[in-house]
Homo-oligomer: A and B are copies of this chain.
Amino acid sequence: MGKKNKQFVEKITAMEDDFAQWYTDVVKQADLVDYGQVRGTMIIKPYGYAIWENVRDELDKKFKETGHSNVAFPLFIPESLLQKEKDHVEGFAPEVAWVTHGGEEKLQERIAVRPTSEVLFCDYYSKNIHSYRDLPKLYNQWTNVVRWEKTTRPFLRSSEFHWQEGHTAHATDEDAAQETNRMLEVYADMAEKYLAIPVLKGRKTDKEKFAGANYTLTIEALMHDGKALQSGTSHHFGSGFAEAFDITYLDENGESQFVHQTSWGLSTRIMGALIMVHGDNRGLVIPPRVAPTQAMIVPIAQHKEGVLDKAYDLRDRLKDLVRVDIDASDKMPGWKFNEYEMKGIPVRIEMGPKDIEKEQVVLARRDTGEKEFIPLSELESRLPVLLEEIQQNLYTKAQTHREEKTSIAKTMDEFKQVLEEKPGFIKAMWCGDVACEEKIKEETTATSRCIPFDQETVADTCVCCGKDAKELVYWAKAY
C-alpha cells in the first residue's frame, strides 16, 4: 500500500478502536449523509439516497406483488385525533413536534407532525369501509415522519426519518395475522437476499411491542460490534384500533363487525445495518444487488493514447449488463482506488496500456481485496458471476459472524460474563414475567430482542428468576 493510500485510510477511525466513531466517519467519508440545521435531522446525499432508492424500489415491487397500493396521507394530525387510542398516544406524544401557528394565525388546535400514521388511516377506514366487499384494504406509503429524539445519529436515530408504513384492514383476526406474517417475510427476504444481512425472525415481548399493538413481529440483525439492530417490524392490532375509531363493516350475513388491522414499517435505519454489518476499516461494503454502481472502471495511465477510448468502450459494452460507471477524472488511480473502496463499490475494473495489449482487464473485489485477470472476451460472462459470488460471500460472512457472536446463558452470571467477553446475541430462557425482563435490562443494559419463531430449550429455568422457563428469548445490547 503506497503512502497516499495509507493517508487516506487513516481518515477513518479503526472500528476496533472506536466503533461509534468509525460509523460516523464512514457515513461522512462515504458521502452518505450530512447533518441538517435542525437538531437530529439529516441530509441524505446522492450516494446514500441512491442506495436507499434501490432498497425502496425492490421493496415497493414486493408490496405491489402482494396486492398493496401506494397512497399519500397527510403529514399533519390534529391533536384530538392522535389521542383517540390511549396506548398509542402515550407511546408517541413525548416525541411529537407540534405545529401551533399557520402563517400569522395561532391555531385553535395543535397539530402533530406525524410520528407514524395509524390514526390517520384509522380515521379514513372508519369512513370508507362499509361492507365485507371493501376488505381487505392494503395500503402503503413512502414518507417522512418526525420523532423528537434526545440523542440522534445518522440513519440510526434521527428526528426526521424516511420509511414506508403499511396500514391494512381485514375481515378477520386470522387474515390480519397472516398479513402480519407475510410482511415480516417480505422484510426478511429483502434483508437476506438483497442486503445480504441474515436476520432473526420473532415476536417482541409485550414490553417491547408497538404502542397500541396486540403483538409485534420483528427482524433483528447483529452489527459488527455485537449490538443488535431492529430492522423492520410488523404489527398485529386485532380490533383495538377499530374499537377506538369505530371501524366496522357489514359481514355477509348483514351483521356489523369490527375490522382487524396491521401496520408494518421499514425505515432508513436499515442503512445503518448495511453499514455496520458489512463495513470494514477501508469503509463501506455494498452488496451488489443494492449497489448503485456495481463496477467502477478506473483507467490506468489514462494519458496514454487509446486508454480512455478503450475504457469508454468497455463501459458501453457493460452498461446493459451491470450498473457500471467510469472515473476518467484527472485524479491519480490510487486516489480513485481508495475513493471507491470507501464507497464500497463491489468491483473495480482496472485497465491500462499493458492490459489493452494483452486484451485483458483486472477485476478487484471490494469484499476480499482479491484481484483476477480476465480476458476481455470473457468479461460479460465473468462479471455477473463475480457479483453474485460477492453477494453470497457477504451473506455467509455476516452469518458466520452472527453465529460466532451468539451465545447461550443459563444464569445471570453467565449472561453478564458472555455480554462482557463476547458481546452479541444471548440465547436465554425466560419465565415470561416482565419483572425479569426489566431486571435484566437494568443490570446489563441488554434488552429482549425477540422471542424467535424457531424455539429451542437451552435450559429449564428462567435465566433471571430461576422459575420454570416459558420460552427462549434472544437478548442483546441494541441500537
- Of B78, B96, B103, B160, which contacts A148 at CB under 8 A? B103
Bound Cα distance from A36 to B105, whole angstroms = 20
A168 vs chain B, min Cβ distance (A): 13
A102 surroundings in chain B (CB, below 8 A): 95-98, 148, 159
- How many chain A residues sit at the interface, stated as a range, is 35 or more
Interface membership of A74, Cβ < 8 A: yes
- Residues from 82 to 101 in A contacting B, C-beta threshold 8 Å: 93-101
Interface membership of A44, Cβ < 8 A: yes
| B74 contacts A46, C-beta separation under 8 Å | no
A128 surroundings in chain B (CB, below 8 A): 34
Name the residue on B nearest A127 (C-beta). Answer: B34
Bound Cα distance from A101 to B355, whole angstroms = 62
Bound Cα distance from A72 to B75, whole angstroms = 16
| A69 contacts B97, C-beta separation under 8 Å | no
- Of B37, B72, B159, B162, which contacts A43 at CB under 8 A? B72
Determine how many copies of this chain the complex contains: 2
A478 surroundings in chain B (CB, below 8 A): none
| B99 contacts A113, C-beta separation under 8 Å | yes
Known contacts A94-B103, A95-B103; is-contact A111 B38 (Cβ 8 Å)? yes
| A94 contacts B98, C-beta separation under 8 Å | no
Bound Cα distance from A69 to B146, whole angstroms = 24
A113 surroundings in chain B (CB, below 8 A): 75, 99, 113
Interface membership of A139, Cβ < 8 A: yes
| 29 A-B residue pairs with CB within 8 Å | A34-B127, A36-B74, A36-B120, A38-B74, A38-B76, A38-B77, A38-B78, A41-B75, A43-B71, A43-B73, A43-B74, A45-B71, A46-B139, A49-B69, A49-B70, A49-B72, A50-B69, A75-B144, A75-B160, A76-B97, A76-B159, A76-B160, A93-B103, A96-B102, A100-B100, A101-B110, A102-B148, A102-B159, A143-B144
